[in-house]
Structure 1
Amino acid sequence: MMQLMKPTVTWEKEYRAFLEDWRESGETIVPEVVGDTYEPLAAYFSEQEAKESEVSPGRVTHSTYWMVDGQRIVGALNFRHDLTENLKLYGGHIGYGIRPSERKKGYATIGLRLALEEARKRGLDQVLLTCGVDNLASRRVIVANGGQEIEPTVRNGRETCRFIIPLGE
């Protein structure tokens, strides 16, 4: 059964395997925050904890989670507690990515559902999510979790779809 888990140094070996899976695919790691690795790696884990309570000006607090199934990190998720004007247009509250070797197994849909529970715990009444117009898989995940499409935005000629997910009972 999949669950969300905060990054922890005790999972370093599996985390490195997760990163290697992305590197081998040639894709950019999503969400970006899980690809910001440091040596020693323990610095990465302590920085993730700090970002939940303190950030530099112009940034928002956020929580990073691994999507874990058994003893395997199958994906990662970043939940932004608030939104800047830029995030309202191009980033939203939640970003997620599934490890390339674990796609098409329903992990993104489950992970987003679990993230919505975290948003409810923080008292949000709705969340905003975005994805590229050509990202059909992400669109399906968002809609499956109650996403209602709102007006898109365009930056540098690229359209970004935007969705609101109400968090009422």
Structure 2
Amino acid sequence: MKLVKPTLELKESFYEYLREWEKHNEKVVPTTLRKVNDQYEAYVKRWQNESQGIIREGWVANTTYFLVNEEGRILGSCNMRHELNKTLLQIGGHVGYGVRPTERGKGYATFMLKECLRHLKKMGIQKALITCNDDNIGSKKVIMNNGGIQDQSYTEQDGTIVNRFWIKL
């Protein structure tokens, strides 16, 4: 398995990946994947631009990766933010990741976060902020397995508690 940037060749695998999230009544994570619908080609271009710093207003440069197996099946995805703005300091942090429902518990999220942290370190970032909802026990374990030290939590307007962790790179 390896992390790869989205390509046109992964289109069918991507839609199959989204269908699994829908089948389990879950919102796909990271959020950058949520509104692709029938615009996959446009999103691949957008993701390429964003990784090069060509961004939309209010966004930061970021890189999206898919975790694929040898057959090209997408097992998970992650989005690495190159810097933080005010919003990302509260929720989101430097890395968001998600694993398809049928592939959880196999270490894929831990692997993706570890790889993203390696990339962030190469970019000169000395500590990374990673967040997860308080009720997401699996994600907490992933973050702590990668050296996360819990900081003050943030409470969203709807009452959702977001745990914040820092990882020294």
- Identify the TM-score tier after normalising by the shorter chain: over 0.9
Q: What pairs with 1:1-169 in structure 2 (closer than 5 Å)?
A: 2-52=1-51, 53-71=53-71, 72-156=73-157, 157-167=159-169
Please state how far the C-alpha of 1:57 moved relative to its aligned partner. Answer: 2.6
Q: Which ranges of structure 1 fall in alignment gaps of 5 or more residues?
A: none
SS of the residue corresponding to residue 141 of structure 1 reads helix
Alignment partners' CA distance in 1, 2:60 and 2:151: 23
Amino acid at match of 2:64: T
Inter-CA distance 159–146: structure 2 relative to 1 (3 Å threshold): same
Alignment partners' CA distance in 2, 1:57 and 1:73: 29
Amino acid at match of 1:14: S
Q: Which whole-Å deviations, capped at 9, do the CAs of 1:53-97 have from their partners, x for residues lacking one?
A: 211232101000001122221000000111111110111010000
SS of the residue corresponding to residue 19 of structure 1 reads helix
Moved more, 48-57 or 141-150: 48-57
Inter-CA distance 56–13: structure 2 relative to 1 (3 Å threshold): closer
TM-score (norm 1): 0.94
Please state how far the C-alpha of 1:38 moved relative to its aligned partner. Answer: 4.7
Identity %, equivalent residues = 36
Count of aligned positions: 166
Inter-CA distance 158–39: structure 2 relative to 1 (3 Å threshold): closer
SS of the residue corresponding to residue 115 of structure 2 reads helix
Q: Which whole-Å deviations, capped at 9, do the CAs of 1:33-66 have from their partners, x for residues lacking one?
A: 1232153421121111011221123210100000
Alignment partners' CA distance in 2, 1:159 and 1:15: 30
Contact 1:92–1:130 (Cα < 8 Å) also in 2: yes
Structure showing the higher strand proportion among its residues? 1
Root mean square deviation, CA, Å: 1.2
Please identify runs of 4+ aligned residues in structure 1 that moved more than 4 A: none
Alignment partners' CA distance in 2, 1:57 and 1:33: 15
Please state how far the C-alpha of 1:117 moved relative to its aligned partner. Answer: 0.9
Please state how far the C-alpha of 1:137 moved relative to its aligned partner. Answer: 0.3
Alignment partners' CA distance in 1, 2:38 and 2:133: 32
